[in-house]
Amino acid sequence: MTKPKVLISDKMDPNAAAIFRERGCEVDEITGLTPDELKEIIGKYDGLAIRSSTKVTKDILDACTNLQVIGRAGIGVDNVDIPAASSKGVVVMNTPFGNSITTAEHAIALMFALARQLPEANAQTQAGLWPKNGFMGVEVTGKTLGLIGAGNIGSIVATRALGLRMKVVAFDPFLTPERAVEMGVEKADLDTLLAKADFITLHTPLTDQTRNILSKENLAKTKKGVRIINCARGGLIDEAALKEALDSGQVAGAALDVFVNEPAKESPLFGTPNFICTPHLGASTNEAQVNVALQVAEQMADYLVNGGVTNALNMPSLSAEEAPKLKPYMALAEKLGSLVGQLAHDNLTKISIEVEGAAAQLNIKPITGAVLAGLMRRYSDTVNMVNAPFLAKERGLDVREVRHDREGVYHTLVRVTVGTSQGDRSVAGTLFGNTVPRLVEMFGINIEADLDGHMLYIVNEDAPGFIGSIGTLLGKNGLNIGTFHLGRRNAGGEAVLLLSMDDAIPEAVLEDARKLPGVKTVKALKF
């Protein structure tokens, strides 16, 4: 079996390469590549491990003929075109927890630096001025810290601030009242936070909703004399408006580790009194760089070797422990999706994935992804679980997931229902022995069949002699039947025939089959 091949294109801890090799991957460490140089070689790699220097653009991704996964050692993925990666079927992972403590500590350090004006005091002291009476700081004890973003890093900052005997007010749309109580913080809306906070620190990703969250208007709502820290993302603060607020005294001090444009060679904030900055050092500790490098290697190797998906930004997570249990279900789901995709006669409007029995106890997201991958192959031959949801959304397909607690005839069942102009069409399958995918129902007709290889699907009127007729036709054309599966609604009613064939069926034979008495539908299938 060929080993997956990984390129490490940014400088990382050498133990990352060692982890890849230990887990069965080949590794090349080639840093400092230009975009053209990366394009030239990327086609031979299954995985790409990066930090912030490598820019993975659509142009680069178009050259990725084998790439399965991009791993970012760190949290920010601004340097990866995620929609382009998704459309190419490439998993994008990051390591959101490897540098959390380091970034949180940097925010706390900047808060102290602002409170006691440490950079200015240091500069003047080293210049021989001894400005003992020139600096009057403030204590942080008893002050209110406004936390914009209460996720992983924000929660660590809150813990540290509470340890400093600060009060913490948090604004985060995803923060539940229960989680706020658990963290020991007050949940508030943004305006309340702005009015109450003595210090504000930001810990949220940059999205359309958070861009310039500290705008000129919102800076005017802050408590006069507030001090602001941003170790999250450039673009969360309107830098020109912050400059005005510093000059007016509305904001007493600001500390930025991130800027809208990086490297920040110039900024309206540079040289402003009570402004301090660092060059995006939030994750820059020895411990953090080792942690994120090791984590990205572990995550990528798990995916390439075992199918485990951790911290992916464009597909559901699937642990290496879950993968073996879910793989048979994903195989079943993909076949069911492929079946309805091949049999659909018009554009689909909706799809429902239902699970019951043992399947209802599992992570449904990978099952949904597998159904969509099978379905979307009617549109593209490069579909996988990563880009299938992207393609479904692009086509306006309404995707629903339903989990049933009820017990049915089968110990486990996956049902796929699609909406067509002729109404809903449903297929269902189970696992034999918890491992072998098996079709058990098709458009309301009970029929058991393996979905594999070349198959012939026929809908006909149930009448004596039809099986002999189709057998004679196939035999006359030298086509051998592997297995034979038959189901019907009732005697003399509509019947469904599924034949597995040793070879593909020529179109001329399909046309002859359509001419047989009582035949309504004939279609060749491929799994």
Structure confidence by residue, pLDDT tens digits, 105-145: 999 999 999 999 999 999 999 999 999 888 999 999 999 99
DSSP class of residue 318?
Answer: B
Q: Are residues 145 and 155 in the same domain?
A: yes
pLDDT band at 382 (very low <50, low <70, confident <90, very high): low
Q: What digits encode the pLDDT tens for the residues 29-43?
A: 999 999 999 999 999
Q: Domain for residue 484, yes or no?
A: yes
Q: Are residues 447 and 486 in the same domain?
A: no
Give the domain-ending residue among 385, 417, 451: 451
Burial of 401 (0-12, 13-18, 19+ CB in 10 A): middle
Long-range contacts, 190-195 (Cβ 8 Å, 24+): 190/148, 190/218, 191/221, 193/146, 193/147, 193/148, 193/169, 194/146, 194/218, 194/221, 194/222, 194/223, 195/221, 195/222, 195/223
Q: What is the pLDDT of residue 206?
A: 85
Q: Domain for residue 312, yes or no?
A: no
Q: What is the pLDDT of residue 125?
A: 94
Q: What is the pLDDT of residue 381?
A: 61
Q: Are residues 132 and 15 in the same domain?
A: no
Read off the pLDDT of each residue in 365-376 and give the average, rounded to a whole number: 88
DSSP alpha helix (H) spans, 173-238: 177-183, 190-196, 216-220
Phi–psi pair at 173, nearest 5 degrees = -60, -25
Residues noted as catalytic = 233, 262, 280
pLDDT at residue 70 tops 80? yes
- From 43, 51, 53, select the one nearest 90 (Cα to Cα): 43
Q: What digits encode the pLDDT tens for the residues 147-175?
A: 999 988 999 999 999 999 999 999 998 88
Give the domain-ending residue among 418, 451, 484: 451
Name the 3-class secondary structure at 243. helix
Q: Are residues 428 and 477 in the same domain?
A: no
Q: Are residues 273 and 298 in the same domain?
A: no
Q: Are residues 146 and 60 in the same domain?
A: no
Q: Are residues 377 and 514 in the same domain?
A: no
For residue 59, give both structure tokens. 């142009």
Q: Are residues 406 and 506 in the same domain?
A: no
pLDDT at residue 84 tops 70? yes
Burial state string for 445-465 with b = 16 or more CB within 10 A and e = fewer than 16: bebbbbbeebbbbbbbebeee
Amino acid found at 418: V
What is the count of structural domains for the chain?
A: 4
pLDDT at residue 176 tops 90? no
Q: What is the pLDDT of residue 478?
A: 93
For residue 187, give both structure tokens. 């949940």
- The domain spanning residue 88 has which CATH number? 3.40.50.720
* E runs forming strands in 113-198: 144-148, 167-171, 186-187
Read off the pLDDT of each residue in 391-411 and give the average, rounded to a whole number: 84
- CA 140/CA 373 separation, integer angstroms: 54
Q: Domain for residue 195, yes or no?
A: yes
Domain limits for position 170: 100-277
Q: Are residues 361 and 500 in the same domain?
A: no
In this prediction the pTM is: 0.63
- CA 188/CA 170 separation, integer angstroms: 6
Q: Domain for residue 41, yes or no?
A: yes
User: How remote is the C-alpha of 208 from its chain's centroid?
Assistant: 18
pLDDT at residue 92 tops 90? yes
Q: Domain for residue 502, yes or no?
A: yes
Which carries the bigger pLDDT value, residue 52 or residue 194?
194
If you average pLDDT over every residue of the chain, what do you get? 91
